[in-house]
Amino acid sequence: MMFLLLLSPIFSHSQFSNGWDPNPEFAEFKNNGKEFWTKQEWNSANTARFHFYMSKRVRESIRLHNLVRMYPDKFSEVYIDSLADTKKVRVLRKALQRTKPMHKLKPNVNLYLAAQMHTIYSGFSSHVGHGLFDQRMMIVKPLSWNVYTGENCAYGQETALDVSVGLLLSPGHRKNILYNGFYRIGGSRFYHIAYGTNTVFNYSTANWKDFSSGLKADRQSVGIVIGTSNGFNKLMLDGGLAYHANHFRSREYIAEIKYHKGVVNNNTNGLSLSISTGNTKGLIVVTSGVKSTIYNTKGEYSFYTSPEITAALNIQFFKKGYLYYCGEDIVSLYRLTYGYNHLLTKTDNIDISKHYIGVSKYINLKTKKILKNKLSPL
């Protein structure tokens, strides 16, 4: 674990800003301005409604995060136009005018834990800023070493509205709130020796839940997989089709269907479906997932489920005049997989090893890129 903590700044890609703003005054607003929004607008922004591990003020601030993302023009009219006409207010007003409506942020318990660690540590130590940010992310999201993340800290503000607008008035904090690449959020609030309170929000790109619920990937590709599995003493040859989806060039989702043919001391054939997710960092791809397989040995069927972890290199050899070449798209993956076969039926298969190591290659056949609106400069 200590080794991972020391290396995490190399792997993490974080975006955050230092500094904070004094509390804007919203004495005339009741219930954070609820009366200015329709019931549908107000309720749809409340994605943290049932996430009671976060305090009510943090959950209400997440609602305000979503309102400014979903309705930037109306948010400016309701809240920003009521502020004194200062340079910061004018800059914020113009930024919201340039912002296009976007998806809302959804809560994530891992991001909450990272924020809570920071509020407790900084509260008792009187620390300000984003200390140990990469290490905190590595602890709560150990398999997500290339997820794009960000953090905002607000010191001294009491209400959810004060916190949210105070962050929006700061360019760096505003960039995190209005970044359309973020899909997840977690926040924590705690006592701070120097400022009374400290409210911390952590942000990240989409996770597998967002993808499975309909989020479109930036890149989608299909290809073929060839390789070996099941150990060398009872070797099997594998071949099949694979679907890859990539989100923001960092998050990887893979589905594969493969046929397995026993070739060495092995009379078993099989058909498998595997689903995995992971992260991409340059030419390195690390994924974990589950494979379900039906094996047939002379008419006897057995069914296995297998957790797997795979490390791969996204690399092409002797390409474009170089010994090897690595591009943005996944074209050729050389993969090493470890898995454990867990029998789900009563009929065991002596040809199937419990522990196995597989070597395979993915060859891309076709890639589809989906163009998305980029965030306007703020």
pLDDT of residue 323: 54
Render 202-271 in DSSP notation, one character per residue: EEE---HHHHHTTPPPSEEEEEEEEEEES-STT-EEEEEEEEEEEETTTEEEEEEEEEEEE-SS---EEE
pLDDT of residue 360: 93
Render 94-144 in DSSP notation, one character per residue: HHHHHPPP-PPPEE-HHHHHHHHHHHHHHHHHT--S-TTHHHHHHHH-TT-
Residue 163 is encoded by which pair of tokens?
């916190």
What is d(CA 10, CA 18) in angstroms, rounded to the nearest whole number?
A: 20
Beta bridge pairs of residue 290: 275, 307
pLDDT of residue 173: 94
DSSP, res 1: -
Short-list 77, 104, 92, CA closest to 167? 92
- Which residue has 């903590």 as its token pair? 5
pLDDT of residue 5: 33
pLDDT of residue 314: 82
What is d(CA 173, CA 163) in angstroms, rounded to the nearest whole number?
A: 11
pLDDT of residue 304: 93
What is d(CA 326, CA 334) in angstroms, rounded to the nearest whole number?
A: 12
pLDDT of residue 13: 35
Quick one: angle between helices 133-140 and 109-125, nearest 10? 140
Residue pair 261/268 in contact by the 8 Å Cβ criterion: no
Q: Residue 368: in which H helix or E strand, if any?
A: strand 355-369
Residue 207, phi then psi, degrees to nearest 5: -115, -175
Q: How many CB atoms lie within 10 A of CB 334?
A: 18
What is d(CA 184, CA 111) in angstroms, rounded to the nearest whole number?
A: 8
What is d(CA 223, CA 201) in angstroms, rounded to the nearest whole number?
A: 39
pLDDT of residue 135: 77
pLDDT of residue 374: 43
Residues of the chain below pLDDT 50: 1-24, 143, 373-378
Q: Which residues of 12-34 are buried (b: 16+ CB within 10 A; e: fewer)?
A: bebebbeebbebbebeebeebbe
pLDDT of residue 328: 58
